[in-house]
């Protein structure tokens, strides 16, 4: 039971607020040494022998760290992050929001619909959730409030649209899950494309229905607010949409067609982002320097967590914790369905309190071997987890999108407005998860191993 105790101690320390990477590292060292000493004493050995056994457990950590740093799949993570930050600094979101707002503003709920569509485009081009939520919160939220949109609907739309970058490729979550499941990232990108678009469609449908049922929730912008030349509006919109759309096709198309690996296409994406920044007249070496620094900080955080999680999972396995979890999961009623339901509920519950990176590197490696052992398709299961992890950005009290929006929202918007706004979108995401679980063939994947 040492491994199980270690798991709960780690979760408790995270909830208290200790840094993630250091928590995993410290807890694994403490329980690794404790396990060696305990085992030695139980076998009639000495304290020194037990301490030495605990130290020897970590003899292979340098090899594990070296393997992580040489992982070609994970090389795509910093490249896609850099691509997203460059596009963020080139004011791509502002251009898209202005263009889409003119196109859909005359429709009831049109500003909210344009926010969803821009969120989808930003997800497929930048994939940076924080940047998307902040940009739309700064630009789109004041406009929606100006035209008397419901505060909760406006806030919920922005938060939900910003999190689309977690499921729509190129998603960092999918790259991490591809590494954990040892599956081609291209397969995950291809499999996540249609569930991501389904979420976009469901969000828009919800906004249209709410706007139709209550005319005051999301009123249309008066026609006299627009410029006279409608054709010019359409031309301006295409000018804003076409460049990022070409970049998306180049990056994702090269992966889907097998022309390039995700790592190679991420490099293409970085070059394309620089070209777009030059086209938008925002390119400078200072901007590239700042984007590179932000990328290094974010990448260092991800890899520090990964190294701490590797030590944690190593000790957890050594103490037999994974065997206990597997035994419990395999004894659940309903066999495969029991495992799927319980694992999804557990991931969603943890998403209320901890980040997707910790869940991906601590919880998922425990569940992945069990899923494969009972015949569940790892690609389908990884996509289901990705959909689940997306909700962790929306769930109170620690959903990151909620914090991002709270930081830029005007004082007239209360925190309760943001919480109320995201609840319908969380239910919509759960609904899409259920459809994906029950009818995976609709999305071109199978739940079971072939």
| pLDDT tens-digit series, residues 190-230 | 888 889 999 999 999 999 999 888 888 888 776 655 555 66
Strand partners, 376: 448
> How many Cβ atoms from other residues are within 10 Å of residue 442's Cβ?
12
φ/ψ of 376, rounded to 5, equals -90, 135
Stated as kind and residue range, the H or E segment containing 213 is: helix 185-213
Answer with the residue of higher pLDDT: 347 or 56: 347
Rounded mean pLDDT of 400-421? 84
Show contacts of 198-202: CB within 8 Å, 24+ apart: 198/432, 198/435, 198/436, 198/443, 199/164, 199/167, 199/428, 199/429, 199/432, 200/116, 200/117, 200/119, 200/120, 200/164, 202/428, 202/431, 202/432
pLDDT averaged over the chain?
83
What pLDDT does 432 receive? 92
What pLDDT does 128 receive? 67
What pLDDT does 304 receive? 84
Token pair listed for 400: 């990151």
Rounded mean pLDDT of 177-197? 89
Contact 174, 379 (CB under 8 A): no
Domain ranges in the chain?
75-283+319-450
φ/ψ of 427, rounded to 5, equals -65, -40
Confidence of residue 127 (pLDDT cuts 50, 70, 90): low
| pLDDT tens-digit series, residues 24-71 | 888 888 888 888 887 777 777 787 877 787 777 788 788 878 887 887
Angle in degrees, CA 97, 99, 104, rounded to 5: 90
What pLDDT does 126 receive? 67
Contact 363, 425 (CB under 8 A): no
| pLDDT tens-digit series, residues 362-386 | 888 889 888 888 888 999 999 999 9
Rounded distance between C-alpha atoms, residue 189 and residue 405, angstroms: 27
> How many Cβ atoms from other residues are within 10 Å of residue 439's Cβ?
10
Rounded distance between C-alpha atoms, residue 162 and residue 138, angstroms: 13
What pLDDT does 3 receive? 76
Q: If you search the block for the tokens 């070059």, which residue do you land on?
A: 271
Rounded distance between C-alpha atoms, residue 27 and residue 7, angstroms: 9
What pLDDT does 224 receive? 57
Kindly tell me if the per-residue pLDDT of 239 is higher than 80: no
**Range of lowest pLDDT (31-40, 88-97, 333-342, 413-422):** 88-97
Rounded mean pLDDT of 415-432? 90
Kindly tell me if the per-residue pLDDT of 427 is higher than 90: yes
């Amino acid at each position: 039971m040492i491994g199980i105790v270690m798991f709960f101690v780690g979760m408790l320390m995270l909830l208290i607020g200790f840094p993630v990477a250091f928590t995993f590292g410290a807890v694994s060292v403490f329980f690794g040494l404790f396990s060696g000493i305990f085992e030695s004493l139980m076998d009639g050995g000495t304290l020194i022998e037990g301490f030495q056994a605990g130290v020897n457990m970590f003899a292979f950590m340098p090899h594990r760290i070296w393997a992580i740093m040489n992982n070609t799949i994970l090389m795509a993570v910093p490249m896609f992050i850099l691509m997203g930050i460059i596009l963020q600094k080139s004011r791509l979101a502002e251009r898209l929001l202005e263009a889409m707002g003119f196109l859909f503003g005359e429709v009831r709920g049109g500003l909210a619909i344009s926010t969803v569509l821009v969120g989808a485009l930003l997800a497929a081009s930048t994939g940076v959730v924080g940047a998307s939520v902040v940009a739309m919160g700064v630009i789109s939220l004041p406009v929606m409030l100006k035209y008397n949109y419901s505060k909760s609907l406006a806030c919920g739309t922005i938060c939900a649209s910003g999190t689309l970058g977690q499921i729509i490729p190129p998603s960092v979550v999918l790259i991490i899950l591809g590494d954990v499941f040892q599956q081609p990232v291209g397969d995950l990108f291809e499999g996540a494309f249609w569930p991501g678009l389904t979420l976009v469609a469901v969000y828009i449908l919800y906004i249209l229905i709410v706007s139709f049922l209550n005319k005051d929730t999301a009123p249309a912008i008066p026609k006299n607010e627009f410029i006279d030349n409608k054709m010019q509006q359409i031309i301006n919109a295409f000018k804003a949409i076409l460049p990022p759309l070409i970049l998306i096709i180049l990056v994702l198309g090269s992966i889907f067609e097998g022309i390039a690996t995700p790592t190679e296409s991420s490099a293409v994406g970085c070059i394309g982002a620089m070209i777009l920044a030059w086209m938008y007249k925002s390119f400078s070496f200072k901007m590239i320097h700042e984007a590179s620094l932000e990328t290094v900080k974010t990448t260092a955080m991800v890899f520090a967590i990964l190294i701490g999680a590797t030590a944690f999972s190593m000790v957890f396995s050594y103490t037999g914790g994974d065997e206990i979890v597997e035994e419990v999961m395999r004894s659940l009623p309903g066999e495969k369905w029991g495992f799927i339901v319980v694992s999804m509920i557990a991931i969603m519950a943890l998403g209320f309190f901890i980040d997707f990176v910790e869940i991906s590197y601590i919880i998922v490696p425990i569940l992945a071997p069990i899923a494969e052992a009972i015949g569940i398709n790892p690609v389908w299961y990884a996509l289901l987890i990705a959909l689940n992890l997306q909700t962790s950005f929306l769930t109170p009290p620690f959903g990151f999108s909620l914090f991002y929006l709270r930081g830029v929202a005007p004082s007239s918007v209360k925190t309760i407005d943001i919480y109320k706004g995201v609840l319908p979108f969380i239910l919509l995401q759960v609904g899409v998860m259920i459809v994906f679980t029950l009818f995976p063939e609709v999305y071109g994947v199978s739940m079971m191993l072939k």
